[in-house]
Amino acid sequence: MLSMDEQPNNPLHGKTLEMIITELVSFYGWEQLGRNIRIRCFNENPGIQSSLKFLRKTPWARKQVEDLYLEVIAGKK
C-alpha cells in the first residue's frame, strides 16, 4: 500500500467516493450533474447512497465521476 508521501500529486488521494459525489452535487446540483454524466442514479430519484452503490459496482461510471471531479478542482486552482 502506498503512503501519502508516495502520492503527493494525486488529487484523488485521500478523497472518498462519497466526498467526491458530495462536492460535485454542491458544485453542479443533481440536475446539471445528470446532464454532465448521463447515468440513471444522477437523473432518476438521485441520492448519495444510491449513487455510491451504483458507482462502486460500475468502474466506467466511477471513472467519469472522478474525471469530472478532476476538471472541477483544476478549475478552482
pLDDT of 16-26, one tens digit each?
A: 999 999 999 99
Q: What span, in angstroms and rounded, lies between the C-alpha atoms of 6 and 43?
A: 37
- Domains of the chain and CATH, by start: 16-76 (1.10.720.30)
- The pLDDT assigned to 1 comes to 47
* C-alpha cell at position 19: 466526498
Question: Which pLDDT score is estimated for 8?
Answer: 64
For residue 2, the model assigns a pLDDT of: 47
Q: Which residues of the chain have pLDDT under 50?
A: 1-4
Query: CB burial class (10 A; 0-12, 13-18, 19+) of residue 69?
Result: buried
